[in-house]
A and B are shown apart, each in its own frame.
Chain A
Amino acid sequence: MDNNELNLLREFSPQLSTKSRLVKGWLLFLLFAFMLGLFGLYMQIIHGHAITGMRDYVVWGVYIVNFIFFMGLSYAGALISGTLHLMKTEWRKPIMRMAEILTVVSLMIGPLFIILCIGRLDRLYFLVLHGRIQSPITWDVIAISTDLIGCLLYLYLSFIPDFARLRDFKELDVKSWRKKMYSVLSLGYQDTPEYNKILNRSKNVMAAIIIAIAIIVYSVLAWIFSVTLQPGWHSTIFGPYFVIAAVYSGTGLLIIIMWIYRKIYHLEAYITKSHFVKIGVLLLILAAFFGYFTFSEYLTKWYGSESNDAVLIDKLFEEYFWMFIISNYAGVIIPLVVIGFPKLRTINSITFAAFVSVVALWYNRYLIVVPTLESPYLPIQDSRAEYLYYAPTWVELFTSIGGVALFCLFFTLASKFVPIIEVSGNAPKKLETKTASQS
């Protein structure tokens, strides 16, 4: 361990060991919010899905929206950390870990919402026992589990050198079981050229793999919708559209997380404005792509105005007017303007744009799922009046809050277990001058 690493460990290790009231309070709050979600799930199991807002036409609601949304967030890590790693970009180091944790945690949360949406939880294993490869859901099960394993491996590979440092760091003030854990998890890694060569090669391979898998996962997700004949879903561009939207929201959340950790851990020296601008520019490009795809999708539907499409478009511009404005106008224009003009770029303004993009993307998912189901080929008739429209109930709200809380909980715990910035092989202080790359 060189001096630089030792200094970093000294600086970051308190974050791993502190048990301040603030942290405890935050964790308790998250636990409480998660319990709300569990309560919602309990009520749903007791009373059946009838207590959700879903009905015979809108059979998928907020649960599926959250599912796609969280799966989209997981993209940030796969694409940003994967690509930056392969390109050996120098400035990536301080933000890589956040992106990687974000990926794995959101990949764990996303599928939970599918479980909430399924009518017979007790038969979930049928997906394996009676699985049919012809069904896009089976593709999804295979793709998501592969992605989760791939991303976990990639995350673990990047943890190993840090685990070894923490193992060898005598001043570390944590309980002995955690020290033991670091020691076990570091797999006997030593900072020697041989070890590093193997590690680097594995990371390169995994980075390439998870980029590819992530694209497949998100396309498969899009195909679940676009293989059906529903007027709003049966679209050839859904695959790439979903992929772009996913990276967009993931990048947005990454910026928000960078902002939060920079504030609470005082990482100003490591995460600089330059990082925000660089990731911000990426967000800008993605905003443009997202706007372009959205425009193409709706332009063709509106211009051709086939009656089923016209019904949907009318619905979007009337009943869903504000949602449409937030998601497809604000969600594109605000990031474009804020980041597009260099004068407007500040750390806070870029974070604000990122926040807008994340919210917009959630609404975008909602607009894809719900209005389409409300306007099927045969306009809904001879059904109970309350089947015509969907509105989420408190159960869906509680379980969604629970899901978000679980995301924050996992993220917080992960950042309490390993330094939020890679310690090993890092020379963040020198990064600004772009001179040193190896430690």
Chain B
Amino acid sequence: MAKKKDKTSRREFFNSSISLGATALFLSNFTSSCTDPKEPGEKVKVLGQNGELLEVDKSELHYCKPATPEESRQGIPNRKFVMVIDLSRCRNARICVEKCQEAHHLLPGQEFIRVYLMQRSEKSTPYWFPKPCFHCNNPLCASVCPVGATYKRSDGIVLVDNERCIGCKFCMTGCPYNARIFMWEKLEVENEKDIEYSPETSIPAREGTVAKCDFCPDLLRNKKLPHCVAACPMGAIYFGDINEDSVTNGEETVGFTELIKNYDGYRHLENLGTDPSVYYLPATGRLFPFERGLEDKDEELMKRYENSPYFKNKNNG
């Protein structure tokens, strides 16, 4: 009963806030450093979404050159990015994981965003917990880096410059959320040779360096939402700007403060004092039973959850 009520009220809340004029609000005000070359007739080659080469007229392109490592150290002016993940909507569809991997040229087994199967206590119902980098405001990873390869920007984003990283992995032990991955293998990704490296795109990756979720600042500069946010079929991930006090999942735009206030938004392991930029809305009033997240999953994927509290409790009891 209570659950149902909560669900409807949350829906209503979202619906009422859309009336503000929605996505445009968030996407309108970006001050971008993009250049807009308009020389018709000139053809350029660009990389398609799946890594294929496309030839298009330069005039059709509204593109941003990816920020250089130097430029990437400056945040986008007057922005303070924040992410809100509504746990009641996640059903482990894993589209966020896949799109993220695709966009960042990650191999299977390399994830910037992972989906954990969490359970607060043995008696409570499990829930799915997407975990990107939390882009902490007090990031231990950036504090411990000996060479300044990972840094906190004015817009709240924590990035890794893999041209600076020496691969000491101290940041990986410093991060209490295991948000970081290491490029262990020799990377031989075709058609990456011509891509200019930018810490904002995290491609191309380099062997022997650290990488992690970057909040897709290249898309943000182009007035687009991060891949995981745009990809989520449930609209579970909201992204926005604290300064504007609004977040959007691409369909609905809502007030950030109000959302957190009304739905008991929290941050994971708040007691560690890292001050994350990623908030969670509790899974109460789930839109799906959590078992949906285990349906149609192959063996490899099921194995990934063997260590989860739910399966551990189940196997023990």
**A376 B176 Cβ-Cβ under 8 A:** yes
* B-contact 0/1 string along A98-122, CB 8 Å cutoff: 0000000000000000000111100
A382 an interface residue at 8 Å Cβ cutoff?
Answer: yes
**A48 B184 Cβ-Cβ under 8 A:** yes
The stretch of A14-22, A51-59, A410-418, A427-435 in contact with B is A51-59
Contact of B116 among A127, A137, A233, A382 (CB under 8 A): A382
**B170 A382 Cβ-Cβ under 8 A:** no
Tell me the complex Cα distance, A99–B131, Å.
Answer: 51
Chain A's nearest CB lies how many Å from the CB of B294? Answer: 12
**B308 A230 Cβ-Cβ under 8 A:** no
Contact of A137 among B170, B177, B183, B186 (CB under 8 A): B170
A305 an interface residue at 8 Å Cβ cutoff?
Answer: no
B residues within 8 A CB of A380?
178, 307
* A-contact 0/1 string along B290-317, CB 8 Å cutoff: 0000000000000111111100000000
A residues within 8 A CB of B46?
none
The stretch of B15-23, B83-91, B139-147, B217-225 in contact with A is B139-147
Contact of A56 among B115, B181, B306 (CB under 8 A): B181
**A119 B176 Cβ-Cβ under 8 A:** no
* A-contact 0/1 string along B137-163, CB 8 Å cutoff: 000100111111100000000000000
A134 an interface residue at 8 Å Cβ cutoff?
Answer: yes
Is the contact region of chain B dominated by helix, strand, or loop, or is it mixed? loop
Chain A's nearest CB lies how many Å from the CB of B293? Answer: 11
**A135 B172 Cβ-Cβ under 8 A:** no
**A118 B182 Cβ-Cβ under 8 A:** no
Tell me the complex Cα distance, A138–B145, Å.
Answer: 9
Chain A's nearest CB lies how many Å from the CB of B4? Answer: 30
B76 an interface residue at 8 Å Cβ cutoff?
Answer: no
* A-contact 0/1 string along B157-191, CB 8 Å cutoff: 00000001111111011101110111111100000
* A-contact 0/1 string along B274-286, CB 8 Å cutoff: 1000000000000
Instruction: From B111, B115, B169, B308, name the one whose CB has the most chain A CB atoms within 10 angstroms.
Output: B169
**B305 A132 Cβ-Cβ under 8 A:** no
**A57 B145 Cβ-Cβ under 8 A:** no
**B303 A117 Cβ-Cβ under 8 A:** no
**A50 B184 Cβ-Cβ under 8 A:** yes
Chain B's nearest CB lies how many Å from the CB of A116? Answer: 11
A188 an interface residue at 8 Å Cβ cutoff?
Answer: no
B117 an interface residue at 8 Å Cβ cutoff?
Answer: yes
**A378 B116 Cβ-Cβ under 8 A:** yes
A299 an interface residue at 8 Å Cβ cutoff?
Answer: no
Contact of A381 among B140, B184, B208, B307 (CB under 8 A): B307
- CB closest residue in chain A, given B181: A56
B residues within 8 A CB of A49?
167, 182, 184, 208
A377 an interface residue at 8 Å Cβ cutoff?
Answer: yes
Chain B's nearest CB lies how many Å from the CB of A273? Answer: 46
Chain B's nearest CB lies how many Å from the CB of A421? Answer: 41
A residues within 8 A CB of B114?
381-383
Contact of A124 among B140, B166, B207, B304 (CB under 8 A): B166
Tell me the complex Cα distance, A163–B108, Å.
Answer: 62
A341 an interface residue at 8 Å Cβ cutoff?
Answer: no
Interface residues of A in 303-329 (CB under 8 A from B): none
**A227 B144 Cβ-Cβ under 8 A:** yes
**B272 A135 Cβ-Cβ under 8 A:** no
Chain B's nearest CB lies how many Å from the CB of A74? Answer: 21
**A55 B166 Cβ-Cβ under 8 A:** no
Contact of B144 among A127, A136, A378, A381 (CB under 8 A): A136
Tell me the complex Cα distance, A204–B174, Å.
Answer: 40
**A126 B147 Cβ-Cβ under 8 A:** yes
* B-contact 0/1 string along A130-166, CB 8 Å cutoff: 1110111110010000000000000000000000000
Tell me the complex Cα distance, A141–B207, Å.
Answer: 24
Chain B's nearest CB lies how many Å from the CB of A407? Answer: 23
Tell me the complex Cα distance, A141–B146, Å.
Answer: 10
Tell me the complex Cα distance, A373–B170, Å.
Answer: 12
**A378 B173 Cβ-Cβ under 8 A:** no
Known contacts A132-B148, A137-B146, A227-B144; A47/B186 CB under 8 A: yes
A residues within 8 A CB of B272?
229, 377
- CB closest residue in chain B, given A47: B186
Known contacts A119-B166, A381-B305; A135/B184 CB under 8 A: no
* A-contact 0/1 string along B100-120, CB 8 Å cutoff: 000000000101001111000
Known contacts A48-B207, A135-B146, A230-B176; A127/B184 CB under 8 A: no
Chain A's nearest CB lies how many Å from the CB of B299? Answer: 10
Known contacts A127-B146, A228-B173, A382-B116; A56/B167 CB under 8 A: no
**A228 B307 Cβ-Cβ under 8 A:** no
B residues within 8 A CB of A385?
303-304, 306
B residues within 8 A CB of A382?
111, 114-117, 304-305
Tell me the complex Cα distance, A205–B282, Å.
Answer: 63
Contact of B185 among A50, A120, A379 (CB under 8 A): A50
Known contacts A49-B184, A49-B208; A230/B145 CB under 8 A: no
B residues within 8 A CB of A373?
173
Further contacts, 5 of them, CB under 8 A, given A120-B208, A384-B304 = A48-B185, A141-B146, A229-B272, A230-B173, A379-B307
Would you list 28 pairs from A and B whose C-beta atoms are within 8 A, ordered by A residue?
A: A47-B186, A48-B207, A48-B208, A49-B208, A50-B186, A56-B178, A56-B180, A59-B169, A118-B208, A120-B165, A120-B166, A120-B167, A123-B167, A131-B146, A135-B144, A137-B144, A137-B170, A138-B146, A228-B144, A230-B176, A376-B176, A378-B131, A378-B269, A379-B309, A381-B116, A382-B114, A383-B109, A385-B306
Q: Which 3 A-B pairs have the closest CB atoms?
A: A119-B167, A119-B208, A137-B146
Binding site for A on B (CB under 8 A): 109, 111, 114-117, 131, 140, 143-149, 164-170, 172-174, 176-178, 180-186, 206-210, 269, 272, 274, 303-309
